[in-house]
Structure 1
Amino acid sequence: MARTVKSWLVLLAVASLLLVNAPHAAASPAPYESYNYNYWREAVPSPDAYLPSHIVTGKELGIGHFKEPGDVNVSPAGWIYILDSGNNRIVVLDSDYQLVRVLDGFEKDGSQENFNMPGGLFVDAEERIYVADTGNSRVVILDSTGKWIQSIAKPTSDIIPESFQFQPLKLTVDAVGRVYVVAQGVYEGIMQFDEQGDFIGYVGTNKVERDYGEYIWRMFSTKAQRAQMILFVPTEFSNADMDHKGFVYATNIDPGSNEPIKRLNPSGEDVLKRFGYFDVKGDIRYRNSTGPSRLIDVKVLGDGMYSVLDATQNRVFTYDDEGHLLYIYGGKGNQVGTLKTPVAIEQSGHYQMVLDRGKNSLVVYESTRFGRLVNEAAAFHYQGEDAKAVDLWKEVLKLNANYDIAYIGIGKSLLMEKKNKEALAYFEIGMDRKSYSVAFKRYRREMMKEHLGTFLTVAIALIVVLLLTRMAVKWRQRGRVDRETGLH
């Protein structure tokens, strides 16, 4: 008996050691409630699209605690770059979250230079590192080993005042090396630099949200009163990312805007699609004590999808190419998976990462079966492969029978197959009135075309019967008149 007990204790000890030394724990149950919005703008429960997987800290990596980390970026090769702003360094990890190197400075023209509270970074396909070195008023470009390549300092231009202080906060880079910089105090738009570092101009000025009551009052107020009023100044952008077509996705910091997310074409025009039930702006219903979503970062996921980070409720909202809200995850708290002060979001395969300045850590989330099915189905729809998406949407409905986008996706596939009657039922359940109208018109045309011969035959027969009936009536009336005339 004693030997049996001893054996069980040995097994338990071995199992405990294996669990402790496991590189990453399996995704744990969500410490937050996942939800979505229906057609009536009601928050309804939804399966979790992402679950917390694990947390990466500086202490875990053996390099000391992170201090006020500012940004995170994943290179096309899969390496993870964490901008540890408070420690003025860049921490480089491989795809398994193991430390590769730490870049705490660089050599330029024979002298050692350091970062000063850098705010953002971006890594291109050649592993070149672009750093928004905010405190030093410059953008620094390094190679993959940390060797200095180039710096972009305060630009000179006729449209930039002499008193302008260049303080880059965030940045992104296109395929040909043009650098797009979100700078502090710049309301004209995102600053654009060519591959040589020369200033080109601004891209995508935010529109002013006017208060017309104040505008009218300004017309009748005194000079002193007007001086105390708030000026109609455009809001600043908060972050930017680039898609494979060279379009810039950008968020602004105006919580009252109905268009806090933009997709800017090369001309600076906003071409973001907003075909969903409601505005593309994070939470559409909220408590007065918290206020609307304040979007501080955007990540392009590919295939038309993108995620935005809300600093009000510490949640992530993901949309498809047409502006439909796919899913929401995250929340406030101190548990694993909840966030304190999120500052940046990134993606790597089936994982998404949120950099939490409040906890000085990188929180890693893994997609669930529901999340992967939604992502794959939305990707097929974006690629025009609606028929391939149908089976995936049906699997989604098994997990969430109230998922309107799945009904709409199946309906669109049926519409492409000219199964208009079947599509009507799915569009009705999905509350897609526009698609329902299209399907109804097509179904009506189909019915008329199919039954046109029968309709014409019946119509002609009715006309012939009507004519014969009228002729018979006239004949009978004439015969009666003749008979009456003959009697007289």
Structure 2
Amino acid sequence: MMKNTKRIITILLFIVAFIVIYATPVFASAATSYTLTLNAKGEFVRTQDAYLPLRTTMELNLNKPEDMMFDDDGFLWIADTGNMRILKYDSVTNELLFELTYPEFLAPKGLYISSRGLYVADSAAKAVFRFDLDGTFIEKFERPDSLSFGETSFEPSKIAVDNRGNLYIYGEGVSNGIIQLSNIGEFLGFFTTNKIRLSVVQQFQKLILTPEQFDNLLARSPQTFSSIFIDDNSMVYTTTMSTYFNAVKKHNTQGGNIFKRMISFDDARDIYVDKEGIVYAGMQSGAIFVYDQTGDFIFYFGASNSDISSNQDISGVFQRLSSIAVRDDGVIFALDDAKSFLQSFEPTAYAKEIYRAINLYEDRLYQEAIDAWSEVLNLNQMSVIAHNNIAKSYLQLQDYESAMHHFELAGNRTGYSEASWEVRNLVIQSYLGIFIIALIFIYFSNLVLHKVDKKTGKVTQFTQPIKKSFDKPILRELSFMFKVMRKPIDSFEDLKHGHQGSFRATLILYVAIFITFIFFNTSKGFIYQYILVEDIDITALVLGFTAVTLLFVICNYLDTSINDGIGKLKQIFMMFVYALGPLFLALLLVTLLSHVLTYNEVFFLDFIMTFGTIWSFILIYLGISEIHEYSGKETIRSIFMSLLFAIIIVVVLIIIITMWQQLYLFLDAIIKELIRNVFN
């Protein structure tokens, strides 16, 4: 009896535990340290964790902190905007060293540490203050009185200072660019500005309106910056919100952007550059993007707050990231001005190995860099940045074939083109002499054979059977394509009367053009094959080719049947296929040459395709005119109406297919409902 009682109690406890575990709601969120990078297709993919949340600091009692920066001693200075103070914080010992308050502080939003001291930008006070690092006030920079400054507002929000003491100020609402002041406060001008990007509608308006009308139509101002930073080499970096295009910039001395095609989100809030030149861009949503010295994207980590409740506090997740800073040991610190806390992230072995490899390459230790990147590949075999940098190192070591291999794995077509050019150059240098000797040998051999044949006729006797073996009707019918290309009017006249060409040869050519079209889209050289074969919808290619060609032929026949055209459907089809000869040769030639030519010769491929397409269009025009005995205007009208009919047929087919799908779904839902009600 006692055993049965214990067994019953055990079973009941198990049931209760099961109910508690599986019935209690669990609030889960995505890991806050996910790291994403780009694959060879340019898509974001998850990779090894580069950073992990280290510490969330709430003890500083911050209130809407806006900015921070490390000094040369490794202490972190924080602009605690809501409390109108500047803090000096030891991030290692988690100790507040001292706080700087000043009677004129109203909203200290930005700060910068340089050899000349601490600079504080206060938008509400409309001034920049300079202090010693012990907190002693030195001077105050107010609105410039220069005439060239005009009516521009002066509300400093972010500030950076170069090695000469010149101030670079981001002012709220200033679209003219970064305000640049000398070390004594003189206005030097606007350093740089964002370009105005026109929408499609605005571009059309600019095309049809006069400059005066366009300028008066809509007031357009460049987007304002969101942050500014200057590294140890006095290079200026900026971020811009509300744009995906060049949201992160590195500027030259003239203000131009050095970085090209930067990858980021559209809410870039802050930027920081460490001692090694690694660039960190903080997105307001919480993601932190990392780039190397040249602006190449490495990875980003962090999580957006959009998937969590506003009252949840999760380590590593921000409600609104406002600023980032990087300690000398690589630990990243980030501020949240909405929830007023300081969060730190510690780099993993994966991130440290990437940074070590980058530094080795920058130090021109290319073989050591290859070894370091190989260690990264041990952690992630498909790391695009590892393959790309290994390829660049091999390129510097003049191992071009290895560079090509890794550039291809990284999807870097520009680098692959450069390495391929070097390989081709070496091959040309190696075999150019042999090639020239072979040409000379062939030339003189031809002269000798020609003279021998004139005297003896032996060569002709030998070659005559070979020529006869190629003199087959099907070969003549296929080669008729070349006569169409050279003498289109006479050729189409012969085709119309059945003197040359044949339907069987036309079918063979049509299949050959189709196969060449498929190979053109799937088998070009890596440099020019922008879409991987596995991502190509072969079915769409097949249907698209047959639909475009056959629909045009059928629609042209339908149009000409009611507009006094005398051509038959078979003749139109044969004419159309033979007229595609130049395009067929262009597709074939471009596909073959794409495996040899680099980006330096892309003009030749573009020219071949354009020339072949135009030539084929001219032949189609002449063919329709000759087959139907149309005038020029009638031919143009026939082509236009054929295309229009083809479009109408495609639209009708799409509507029918869509309606059939909807009908199928409707009937399927009714049948399922009947089955459920009858049998249940």
TM, length-normalised to structure 1: 0.78
Residues 64, 82 of structure 2: 8 Å contact kept: yes
Asked if 1:369 is matched to 2:370, the reply is no
In the alignment, which of 334, 359, 362 is matched to residue 354 of structure 1? 334
Deviation at 1:257, TM superposition (A): 4.9
The residue number in structure 1 matching 2:323 is: 344
Query: What amino acid maps onto 1:139 in structure 2?
Result: V
Residues 80, 97 of structure 1: 8 Å contact kept: no
Deviation at 1:422, TM superposition (A): 2.0
Query: What amino acid maps onto 1:120 in structure 2?
Result: G
The residue number in structure 1 matching 2:571 is: none
Rounded to whole Å, the distance in 1 between the matches of 2:459 and 2:55 is: 102
The 5-angstrom pairing of residues 300-339 of structure 1 reads 300-311=273-284, 313-333=285-305, 334-339=313-318
Query: What amino acid maps onto 1:337 in structure 2?
Result: G
- SS of the residue 2:274 aligns to: strand
1:302-321, CA deviations, whole angstroms, 9 ceiling, x for partnerless residues?
A: 4443111111x310111123
Rounded to whole Å, the distance in 2 between the matches of 1:34 and 1:478 is: 77
Asked if 1:269 is matched to 2:242, the reply is no
Residues 79, 108 of structure 2: 8 Å contact kept: yes
In structure 2, relative to structure 1, the CA distance for the partners of 1:215 and 1:468 (3 Å cut) is closer
Query: What amino acid maps onto 2:336 in structure 1?
Result: D
The residue number in structure 2 matching 1:91 is: 87
- Higher relative strand content: 1
The residue number in structure 2 matching 1:24 is: none
Rounded to whole Å, the distance in 1 between the matches of 2:259 and 2:172 is: 28
The residue number in structure 2 matching 1:121 is: 111
The residue number in structure 2 matching 1:170 is: 158
Residues 74, 81 of structure 1: 8 Å contact kept: yes
Deviation at 1:160, TM superposition (A): 2.9
Deviation at 1:391, TM superposition (A): 0.9
Deviation at 1:358, TM superposition (A): 2.6
Query: What amino acid maps onto 2:283 in structure 1?
Result: D
- SS of the residue 1:397 aligns to: helix
Residues 86, 100 of structure 2: 8 Å contact kept: yes
Residues 153, 174 of structure 2: 8 Å contact kept: no
Deviation at 1:420, TM superposition (A): 1.7
Rounded to whole Å, the distance in 1 between the matches of 2:406 and 2:442 is: 38
1:97-153, CA deviations, whole angstroms, 9 ceiling, x for partnerless residues?
A: 4335333424xxxxxx24212111111135x11111222111111101100001111
- SS of the residue 2:108 aligns to: coil
Deviation at 1:464, TM superposition (A): 6.2
Rounded to whole Å, the distance in 2 between the matches of 1:159 and 1:451 is: 65
Deviation at 1:75, TM superposition (A): 0.8
The residue number in structure 2 matching 1:26 is: none
The 5-angstrom pairing of residues 459-478 of structure 1 reads 469-470=449-450, 472-474=452-454, 476-477=456-457
The 5-angstrom pairing of residues 64-463 of structure 1 reads 65-106=61-102, 113-125=103-115, 128-161=117-150, 164-214=152-202, 231-253=219-241, 255-270=242-257, 272-274=258-260, 279-283=261-265, 293-311=266-284, 313-333=285-305, 334-349=313-328, 350-455=330-435
Query: What amino acid maps onto 1:119 in structure 2?
Result: K
Rounded to whole Å, the distance in 2 between the matches of 1:209 and 1:375 is: 35
- SS of the residue 1:171 aligns to: strand
Rounded to whole Å, the distance in 2 between the matches of 1:125 and 1:156 is: 27
The residue number in structure 2 matching 1:52 is: 53
Rounded to whole Å, the distance in 2 between the matches of 1:167 and 1:196 is: 18
Residues 187, 235 of structure 1: 8 Å contact kept: yes
Structure 1: tracts of 5 or more residues without a match: 1-28, 107-112, 221-225, 284-292, 481-488
Rg (Cα) greater in structure: 2
1:299-342, CA deviations, whole angstroms, 9 ceiling, x for partnerless residues?
A: 1134443111111x310111123332101111134321121211
- SS of the residue 2:301 aligns to: strand
1:391-443, CA deviations, whole angstroms, 9 ceiling, x for partnerless residues?
A: 11111111112211211211122222222222221111111111111211211
Rounded to whole Å, the distance in 1 between the matches of 2:220 and 2:367 is: 49
Residues 303, 383 of structure 1: 8 Å contact kept: no
In structure 2, relative to structure 1, the CA distance for the partners of 1:461 and 1:120 (3 Å cut) is same
Deviation at 1:467, TM superposition (A): 5.5
Rounded to whole Å, the distance in 1 between the matches of 2:51 and 2:225 is: 27
Deviation at 1:380, TM superposition (A): 3.0
Rounded to whole Å, the distance in 1 between the matches of 2:440 and 2:197 is: 63
Residues 354, 376 of structure 2: 8 Å contact kept: yes
Residues 54, 365 of structure 1: 8 Å contact kept: yes
Rounded to whole Å, the distance in 2 between the matches of 1:125 and 1:96 is: 23
In structure 2, relative to structure 1, the CA distance for the partners of 1:200 and 1:464 (3 Å cut) is closer
Higher RCO (C-alpha under 8 Å, 6+ residues apart): 1
Rounded to whole Å, the distance in 2 between the matches of 1:204 and 1:330 is: 30
In structure 2, relative to structure 1, the CA distance for the partners of 1:468 and 1:143 (3 Å cut) is same
Deviation at 1:456, TM superposition (A): 5.1
- SS of the residue 1:135 aligns to: coil
Residues 104, 114 of structure 1: 8 Å contact kept: no
Query: What amino acid maps onto 2:272 in structure 1?
Result: K
Rounded to whole Å, the distance in 2 between the matches of 1:42 and 1:76 is: 38
Structure 2: tracts of 5 or more residues without a match: 1-29, 210-214, 306-312, 461-680
The residue number in structure 2 matching 1:40 is: 41
Aligned residues: 419
1:326-366, CA deviations, whole angstroms, 9 ceiling, x for partnerless residues?
A: 01111134321121211001111221111112332111111
Identical positions, percent: 26
1:219-277, CA deviations, whole angstroms, 9 ceiling, x for partnerless residues?
A: 88xxxxx99x7521111111000123222101122x2351222222232222x232xxx
In structure 2, relative to structure 1, the CA distance for the partners of 1:129 and 1:471 (3 Å cut) is same
